[in-house]
Amino acid sequence: MKRWLVAAALLVGAACDTQRDAAAPQRTVDPALRAALATATPSDRLIVIVNYDETVTTSDAMSAAIMDVGSGVIQFNNLDLVAAYATPAEITAIGALPAVQGVYANKQLRYSAMLHESVPTIRADAVHAAGITGKGVGIAILDSGIDGLYNPDLHYPDKTVQNIKVLVNLTDLFTFKGSLQKPAKAAKLFVENLPNSETSVGHGTHVAGIAAGLGTASGGYYTGVAPGANLIGIGTGDVLFIFWALAGFDYILDHRTAYNIKVVNNSWGTTGPFDPKDPINKATKQVSGKGITVVFAAGNDGPDQNTLNPYSVAPWVIGVAAGCKTVPDPTKSAIHCADQTGQNRAPILADFSSRGIPGDPLYHPDVTAPGVHIVSTRASTGMVLNVSDANHDLNLTSTCALSVANAPYYTCASGTSMATPHVTGVVALMQEAAGGRLTPDRVASVLTQTARPLPGYALWEVGTGYVDALAAVNAVRQ
């Protein structure tokens, strides 16, 4: 919904920027980079992302100019950005280069986490009954990785059809002036065809199961939203940085046709204001422009206002808030789901789900999806998630209540990280129903228009309401 409200303003702003850039580029000063430079010594080298005006220069020309000031570079195949490895003095020089619109720190991002009931809550089970499962649609999971070796629900290479992981020692991969080699391409800095790309987190494996898990290990009990879809795991490592997220988007664009990628799940983010020139926002706009729907977690910094993940509010992405499941057993714990208004409604918004700004046309989620006590696939190497959620898994008074038989392959977690892949899976269902012809704008329009309203909540809290897979699929079915 926000994309239509702000489209005109963005177009006007873009036109003005173009006119100004012709004379003097409007350069963005990144607060995170300013903070990093304040503690850096003159000889320190920092990884930065350079955003340039693609209408007046090229990646090769920008890279050459950066190398001329003494810095190393890595290029992207599809994104109008360049990564640089530079000293503080060199960063200042890079910022003054013609056509540079901003220099950004390679700051650390964070995963947005703290199926059984959640799939019926969004009526995806009714879609499955009609024979639509997301068959043939590619879902990219840009996250910590996917364990397709241990977990049969995500088996590599027939379910997870490609699984990649970042290379280590990124600083060794920059090309400096005088090198006999051409600058490295970011999308090439992954190891491909890995049965297991998780190292120690387990977050990506859990997210992947929600979006498209087969339910094999549970006899179909914990089946994901789009079990017929293909998974493409983009493992960005245990600690996510901007560079590797950008490299992941670059890889997705390179392989979108080969794997029929129609949607990318992003259960991660940051804090702060929305900046349209931020490298992540620039990348997601290019990804969306190539026909791939971009879905982002709204963040877990609620219930206060103005706490949204800024990447989730971009007009070209779908931002997802976390709601509670419809649970038939009233004896189960309602942690994070206590009725916050006294109206005794279900499902309701999770207390941790980030909120937007009342009355603001941009700062709000688009839709809400289940994000509390979601049981999904466990990674054998996912020690972080496995340990942090152990107290919930076998707690029979919670809405997790895993059986002993299912515990080896499943774990329980809460967060907008878990809500986001529900929507990602619904996008895959919609694409199958529509023969793969839906544009990202059409997907967003249908999802927001068919969502079930949540009485008592406002747009800035829950978007247009609770995502409804059946209504969305029926709206686009051929």
Q: Write out the DSSP string of 298-314.
A: --S-TTSSS---GGGGS
Percent of the chain at pLDDT exceeding 90: 77
Mean pLDDT of 268-294: 97
Region 193-210: what's the mean pLDDT? 95
Are 97 and 116 contained in the same domain?
A: no
Q: Are residues 305 and 181 in the same domain?
A: yes
Instruction: Identify the residue with better confidence: 38 or 171.
Output: 38
Give the chain's domain count.
2
User: Based on the domain organization, do 61 and 120 belong to the same domain?
Assistant: no
Res 6 pLDDT > 70: no
Alpha-carbon span 301 to 287, nearest angstrom: 27
Are residues 217 and 298 located together in one domain of the fold? yes
User: pLDDT-based confidence at 328, cuts 50/70/90?
Assistant: very low
pLDDT tens string 13-26: 433 333 333 344 56
Closest-CA residue to 362 (of 416, 319, 422): 319
Domain stop point among 105, 127, 157: 105
Residue 339 confidence (pLDDT): 54
Segment 196-225 mean pLDDT: 96
Comparing CA positions, the residue from 364, 363, 349, 465 lying closest to residue 414 is: 349
Is there a single domain that holds both residue 124 and residue 243?
yes
Give the model's pLDDT for residue 395.
Answer: 65
Same-domain pairing of 51 and 92: yes
Compute the average pLDDT of residues 437-444: 98
Cα–Cα distances in Å, from 397 out to 218, 309, 330, 332? 21, 32, 10, 5
Q: What is the pLDDT of residue 7?
A: 42
Average pLDDT over residues 334-357: 72
Instruction: Please give the residue range of the domain that contains residue 49.
Output: 2-105
pLDDT in tens, 46-68: 999 999 999 999 999 999 999 99
At 2, the pLDDT band (50, 70, 90 cuts) reads low
Q: Identify whether residues 54 and 143 lie together within a single domain.
A: no
Q: Are residues 273 and 391 in the same domain?
A: yes
The CA distance from 304 to 351, in Å, is 10
Could you give the C-alpha distances from 322 to 40, 99, 143, 270, in angstroms and in order?
39, 40, 18, 17
* Residues 470 and 339 occupy one common structural domain: yes
Tell me the CA distances in angstroms from 339 to 125, 140, 331, one per residue in order. Answer: 26, 35, 15
Mean pLDDT across 457-469: 97
Question: pLDDT grade, residue 378 (50/70/90)?
Answer: very high
* Residues 230 and 373 reside in one and the same domain: yes
> What is the average per-residue pLDDT within 215-232?
97
CATH number at residue 94: 3.30.70.80
Mean pLDDT for 386-391 is 72
Sorting pLDDT into bands at 50, 70 and 90, what band is 8? very low
What is this structure's pTM? 0.92
Last residue of a domain, one of 60, 89, 105: 105
In degrees, rounded to 5, the angle at the alpha carbon of residue 283 between the alpha carbons of residues 180 and 299 is 130
Q: Distance between CA 211 and CA 168 in Å, rounded?
A: 28
The CATH number of whichever domain residue 247 belongs to comes to: 3.40.50.200
Q: Same structural domain for residues 310 and 234?
A: yes
- Mean pLDDT value of segment 154-169: 94
**What one-character DSSP code corresponds to residue 426?**
H
Domain end marker among 74, 105, 136: 105
Rounded Cα distance between 29 and 53, Å, is 15
> Per-residue pLDDT for 123 more than 90?
yes
Mean of pLDDT over the chain: 90
Q: Are residues 142 and 159 in the same domain?
A: yes
Of 283, 286, 232, 227, the C-alpha closest to 261 is 232
Q: pLDDT > 70: what percent of the chain?
A: 87
Is the pLDDT at 4 greater than 80? The verdict is: no
Q: What is the pLDDT of residues 103-121, one digit of tens each?
A: 999 999 988 754 778 999 9
Residue linked to tokens 């100019």:
65
Burial 278-313 (b: 16+ CB within 10 A, else e): bbbbbbbbbbbeeebbbbbbbbbbbeeeebbbbbbb
pLDDT at site 337: 78
In angstroms, rounded to a whole number, what is the distance separating the alpha carbons of residues 243 and 79? 12
| CA–CA dist 365, 459 (Å, integer) | 7
Coil/strand/helix, residue 12? helix
